[in-house]
Amino acid sequence: MENKLILGVIILSQLIFVNCRKDKTIDPELTPLTGEQYPGGEQSTFNHSENAFGQVAPGLSGSNANYFYTGNSLFNQNWVSAPASTTARDGLGPTLNGKSCSACHFKDGRGHAPNFFDQLSTGFLIRLSVPGTDANGGPLGDPNYGGQLNDQAILGVAREGQVEVSYTEIQGKYADGTTYSLRKPTYTFPELNYGAMAPDIMISPRVGQQMIGLGLLEAISEVDLLSHSDENDANGDGISGRPNMVWNILENKTTLGRFGWKANQPSIKQQVAGAFLGDLGITNSLNPNENCPGPQSDCYSAPNGGTPEIDDENLDKVVLYSANLAVPTRPDYNDPDVLKGKKLFNEMNCAKCHVASYVTGIHPEFPHLSNQKIWPYTDLLLHDMGSGLADNRPDFEANGNEWRTSPLWGIGLIPTVNGHTNYLHDGRARNLTEAILWHGGEAELSKLAFINLSKSERDLVIKFLNSL
């Protein structure tokens, strides 16, 4: 009744005033979409401080809400060498990349490449493999160093080696004549303690990613994700996302990959369990054997912290924690410039891969993550990103040119949470503009569209990204 009345008044006033002002059509693309200010749906947080990525999803309740804190402590605190008084957290290494999850995902955020030689625990590591695949279709590790280079070790065991990053500047130019410079990394390994790497070694640098909204991504239905796949580019738009199909340890078969830079992990649990072994040296039920490749005898003979070193109960608490970090809201979602930037983002076809929104399906363990309207800006699919970004290292079905579309939610808060603005898989981009300019392959046309924008339009796109 009241609404009808108001509507009547509006219509009446429009009839009266319509001739008094210039006809101004409202562009629907410059109008906020319903709910887009809550990227995590009901599992969003209003915290925008340096702890913005560490907030619990509001729907988590009962004893699970308490276990979130326990998971948080297992995630944040340093593990120690075995044997130790702290039996809850011993078994570190023998070789490792960080002493805690938070070493690489500081404040549940994003890592960066070392700023100087031998700067440790910045959230950066090098994956290694040689041509061929293992029994499950995954990468085959280096005979001497395994699947990743551990640049730290416990007392009495030599670390595997060090990595040194150097950059070459590449100059470029926008259509308006403004120049820019991108830095291309090169990696060398000045100290290797267990012999040479294989001559045909393939390396892939990776930084730790922000942890927000992972459970919501896990809850997107497979059908929904696959509906965005266009493997043979049937629609001829030059974009051909395809799923990675990866080994699922718990299901003992190949399933859809969702997590990691190449979508090489099928579930949060497997991702967490993989990081515990690979990054911290903590064995678990999914990965029961210490990561001590071929010649590393000190590593073999070092004392362990139990079998496994993290039990299933604690592993599940870290998984619960990782699945239930809320996504920050977007206070500037209806800023006119942000909306203009979003329109440009869509016009440049960025949203073809950075798919804005989904309604999640059913999450088997956490019902509050089900049926949520979310805005992650990803399709979780693999895309050829061109030779400039290629790591030339296959990972299950992902080839050396392909990367998973990264979710963009929360990206504007990285400077607040982590104090840097380094993006992309190896942190080479020094800001969001550089990250866009590195896009190639299937994203080449989108990048060219960006290059052709005016300075003020480019600023609008960046403003939109920072509003996410």
Partner 1 sequence: MTKSNLLPIAFASVLILGTASCKKEKGCTDSAANNYSETAEKDDGSCDYSDIYAADKANIKSTYASIAYASYNDAYTTALTLQTEVNNFIASPTAQGLADCKQAWLDAREPYGQTEVFRFANGPIDDADGPEGLLNAWPMDEGHVDYISGNATAGIINDATTFPTIDASTLEAQNENGGESNISIGYHAIEFILWGQDDPNTALQTPGQRSYLDFVDGGGTASNEDRRRLYLSVVTDLLVEHLEEMKNEWSPSVTNNYRATFEAMDNDLALQNILTGMGTLSKSELAGERMFVALDNQDQEDEHSCFSDNTHRDIYTNALGIRNIYTGSYTAVDGTVISGPSFEELLEKVDPTLKSDLDVISASTITKANAIPAPFDYQLTVETTGGSGPIMQTITVLQKQGDKIVEVGAAIGVTISTTL
What are the residues binding partner 1 (CB under 8 A)? 2, 5-6, 8-10, 13, 45-46, 49-51, 54-56, 58, 65-70, 72-74, 76-78, 80-81, 84-89, 98-100, 102-103, 106-107, 120-122, 155, 326, 416
Nearest approach, Cβ of 120 to partner 1 (angstroms)? 6
Report the distance separating Cα 182 and Cα 439, nearest Å.
Answer: 12
| Residue whose CB is less far from partner 1, 133 or 416 | 416
Report the distance separating Cα 377 and Cα 410, nearest Å.
Answer: 10
| Residue whose CB is less far from partner 1, 98 or 205 | 98
Nearest approach, Cβ of 152 to partner 1 (angstroms)? 10
| Residue whose CB is less far from partner 1, 52 or 436 | 52
Q: φ and ψ at 128, to 5 degrees?
A: -130, 140
Nearest approach, Cβ of 61 to partner 1 (angstroms)? 11
Distance spanning both ends of the chain, measured CA to CA: 38
| Residue whose CB is less far from partner 1, 72 or 406 | 72
Q: Which residue in the block uniquely carries the two structure tokens 């409202």?
A: 26
| Residue whose CB is less far from partner 1, 94 or 243 | 94
| Residue whose CB is less far from partner 1, 84 or 256 | 84
Nearest approach, Cβ of 37 to partner 1 (angstroms)? 16
Q: Which residue in the block uniquely carries the two structure tokens 């001829």?
A: 236
Q: Three-state DSSP class for 204? A: strand
Nearest approach, Cβ of 54 to partner 1 (angstroms)? 7
Nearest approach, Cβ of 70 to partner 1 (angstroms)? 5
Nearest approach, Cβ of 20 to partner 1 (angstroms)? 16
Reading phi first (left if > 0) and then psi (alpha if -120 to 50, else beta), residue 140 is in: beta
Reading phi first (left if > 0) and then psi (alpha if -120 to 50, else beta), residue 377 is in: left
326 touches 212 (CB < 8 A):
yes
Nearest approach, Cβ of 6 to partner 1 (angstroms)? 5
417 touches 107 (CB < 8 A):
yes
Burial class (CB in 10 A: 0-12, 13-18, 19+), 26: exposed
| Residue whose CB is less far from partner 1, 70 or 285 | 70
| Residue whose CB is less far from partner 1, 52 or 355 | 52
Closest CA relative to residue 72, chosen from 259, 308, 314: 314
Nearest approach, Cβ of 119 to partner 1 (angstroms)? 9
String of DSSP letters for 129-194: EEEEE-TTSSEEPBTTTBTB---EE-TTS--SB--EEEEEEEEEE-TTS-EEEEEEEEEE-S-BBT
Q: What one-character DSSP code corresponds to residue 265?
A: B
Closest CA relative to residue 418, chosen from 124, 163, 168, 126: 124
| Residue whose CB is less far from partner 1, 346 or 416 | 416
